[in-house]
Chain A
Amino acid sequence: DSGVTQTPKHLITATGQRVTLRCSPRSGDLSVYWYQQSLDQGLQFLIHYYNGEERAKGNILERFSAQQFPDLHSELNLSSLELGDSALYFCASSRRPNEKLFFGSGTQLSVL
């Protein structure tokens, strides 16, 4: 158990809908990272938050947004969902930016 909790584990929804994925980092970790998993390219970095502030942005679509709350948990919001958004979404946390990562178990999103 890495100590990083992601909910829900599975999410099935329809095109055009909006969903929220939640991540609770390990106790004491201030950094939270979101990734999208694809078979071709592996984990694609989406966004990084550190202590409540956005630190870095990767290949994140404008339809996607995220935030980190004062209690350090983070939410990834995906809106106007398309079939191509179906993927595994991962959260990882670290004590400080770019220190060793600890991974959650992922949320499998299926857009039908």
Chain B
Amino acid sequence: AQSVTQLDSQVPVFEEAPVELRCNYSSSVSVYLFWYVQYPNQGLQLLLKYLSGSTLVKGINGFEAEFNKSQTSFHLRKPSVHISDTAEYFCAALNNNAGNMLTFGGGTRLMVKP
């Protein structure tokens, strides 16, 4: 069965510091990978996605993620965070085999402090 693990439920960080939100997936087949963000009092937005090609994916708001097949990871990074980046971040994996199963991680709450 496919699973997505976000190891940290909360990540506190000071403004302008770098951040990495970790995501590991388990799948024996090819997957597509996504990061979604849910800002306070807002709905879900797509931050970035990996379908194929370059393993370094750039998204909105200065975020990027790197697909690492050998480590089955898709960690999200930002070199310098802002207060406005405070939000819940979800990693998701889509198994593109028959069945197209999409699985979400449990979410990581990024808390940016001044």
- Point out residues on A near B: beta carbons under 8 Å: 2, 10, 33, 35, 37, 39, 41-43, 45, 48, 56, 88, 90, 92, 97-98, 100-101, 103, 105-106, 108
Contact = CB atoms under 8 A, between A and B. Distances in A.
Contacts of B94: 37, 39, 88
Contacts of A42: 34, 36, 46, 49
Identify whether the interface residues of A are mostly helix, strand, loop, or mixed.
Answer: strand
24 contacts: A2-B106, A10-B99, A33-B43, A33-B44, A35-B44, A41-B46, A43-B44, A45-B43, A45-B44, A48-B43, A88-B94, A97-B41, A98-B40, A98-B43, A100-B38, A100-B88, A100-B107, A101-B90, A101-B107, A105-B101, A105-B103, A106-B101, A108-B99, A108-B101
Contacts of A43: 36, 44, 46
Max chain B C-beta neighbours (<10 A), residue from A43, A88, A105, A108: A43
A39 B31 CA distance: 12
Contacts of A97: 41
B100 interface: yes
Contacts of B101: 105-106, 108
Contacts of B42: 98
Given A39-B94, A100-B38, A90 B46 contact: no
Nearest to A108: B100
B32 A106 contact: no
Contacts of B107: 100-101
B102 A106 contact: yes
Given A41-B46, A42-B46, A101-B90, A90 B102 contact: yes
